[in-house]
């Protein structure tokens, strides 16, 4: 066994290699995709040595994989420091997801209506059930000079975002427990919910009212109201949210905005061919 293959490498590599052995994954493809994920998480670019350290691979192996992906346009090397970043081909391929079943296309007019009615930025969010995060895939920005935005592709924790908490509230007790066991409840601001008992109380409230509310739990001063979109199996897979500064989303607006995103999410669910989850 070579030094590069010793069990002292990072957990990421051990997980990938174990998965390759047990599920028939192609190791080089798995490694390349993990590299692509790490590069995507570094919008300003990342050094080869830092990338190698993150994924637990030798520099030579990392460079060989990156060169192959560079030739196909999935990654690119830019700047005097030779930082690696996402290539145009990755965006082209990734954009295919946005048009899957035309979710983005059918939601965009509704997002515009929500923005006009709320006067705040509206967002289309999908749920990544591999990383257990919510991901912003569509957005209509408001016209205010001061706007608090999550970028397209931005990832947010489930327990500390409006859309994420709406998703958690759509799970049964068993799946909720498994998700929280995997993600934990890390703290981002003083408002972040870090106690499981308190989170479960809030989830019960979300289930009663039909929408979730994030009160500066991921970013100080940012408020967000969200409601889930459901597929044909009645499973939550996306959400519509409205986000803005606390100064423009005071307590007295929360219920109104909640009704607004609920109607919008219900409309997208209908156009998508989904069915709303039945509540007791």
Burial classification of residue 279, based on how many CB atoms lie within 10 Å of its CB (0-12 exposed, 13-18 middle, 19 or more buried): exposed
Q: Is residue 13 part of a domain?
A: yes
76 with 190, same domain: the answer is no
| CATH code assigned at 263 | 3.30.450.40
Q: Which of 190, 135, 200 is nearest to 168 (CA)?
A: 200
149 with 62, same domain: the answer is no
What residues contact 212, with CB distance under 8 A and at least 6 apart? 162, 163, 164, 165, 166, 169, 206, 225, 226, 227
Q: Which of 257, 271, 266, 240 is nearest to 117 (CA)?
A: 257
Q: Is residue 92 part of a domain?
A: no
Q: What is the pLDDT of residues 47-94, one digit of tens each?
A: 999 999 999 999 999 999 999 999 999 999 988 888 999 998 888 887
165 with 218, same domain: the answer is yes
37 with 145, same domain: the answer is no
For residue 159, the model assigns a pLDDT of: 96
What tokens were used for 272? 């998508």
**Domain region containing 18:** 3-87
Query: Quick one: what percent of the chain has pLDDT higher than 90?
Result: 68
Task: Count CA within 13 A, CB hemisphere, residue 159.
Answer: 24
Q: Which of 258, 262, 280, 259 is nearest to 270 (CA)?
A: 262
Q: Is residue 218 part of a domain?
A: yes
CA dihedral 6, 11, 14, 18 (to 10 degrees): 160
Q: What is the pLDDT of residues 104-135, one digit of tens each?
A: 888 999 999 999 999 999 999 999 988 899 99
Q: What is the pLDDT of residues 189-228, one digit of tens each?
A: 999 999 999 999 999 999 999 999 999 999 999 999 999 9
Q: Do 125 and 238 touch, CB atoms closer than 8 A?
A: yes
Q: Is residue 20 part of a domain?
A: yes
Number of domains in the chain: 2
For residue 147, the model assigns a pLDDT of: 63
User: What are the CA-CA distances from residue 201 to residues 158, 177, 196 (Å)?
Assistant: 15, 14, 9
80 with 110, same domain: the answer is no
178 with 78, same domain: the answer is no
The last residue of one of the domains, among 53, 87, 121, is: 87
Q: Is residue 94 part of a domain?
A: no
Confidence check: pLDDT of 272 > 80:
yes
User: 136: helix, coil or strand?
Assistant: strand
Residue 43: pLDDT band with limits 50, 70, 90: confident
158 with 54, same domain: the answer is no
């Amino acid at each position: 066994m070579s030094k590069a293959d010793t069990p002292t490498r990072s957990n990421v590599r051990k997980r990938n290699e174990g998965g390759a052995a047990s599920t028939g994954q192609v190791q080089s493809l798995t490694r390349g995709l993990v590299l692509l994920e790490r590069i995507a998480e570094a919008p300003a670019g990342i050094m080869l040595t830092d990338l190698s350290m993150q994924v637990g691979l030798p520099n030579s192996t990392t460079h060989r994989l990156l060169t192959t992906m560079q030739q196909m346009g999935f990654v690119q090397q830019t700047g005097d420091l030779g930082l690696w970043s996402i290539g145009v081909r990755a965006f082209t391929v990734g954009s295919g997801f946005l048009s899957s079943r035309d979710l983005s296309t059918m939601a965009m007019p509704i997002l515009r209506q929500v923005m006009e009615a709320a006067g705040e930025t509206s967002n289309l969010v999908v749920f990544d059930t591999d990383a257990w995060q919510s991901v912003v895939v569509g957005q209509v920005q408001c016209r205010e000079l001061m706007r608090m935005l999550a970028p397209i592709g931005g990832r947010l924790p489930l327990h500390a975002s409006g859309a994420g908490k709406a998703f958690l509230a759509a799970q049964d007790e068993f799946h909720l427990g498994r998700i929280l066991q995997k993600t934990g409840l890390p703290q981002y601001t003083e408002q972040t919910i870090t106690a499981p008992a308190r989170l479960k109380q809030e989830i019960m409230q979300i289930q009663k009212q039909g929408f979730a509310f994030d009160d500066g739990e991921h970013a100080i001063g940012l408020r967000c109201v969200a409601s889930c979109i459901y597929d044909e199996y009645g499973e939550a897979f996306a959400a519509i949210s409205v986000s803005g500064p606390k100064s423009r989303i005071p307590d007295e607006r929360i219920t109104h905005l909640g009704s607004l995103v609920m109607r919008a999410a219900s409309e997208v669910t209908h156009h998508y061919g989904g069915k709303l989850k039945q509540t007791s």
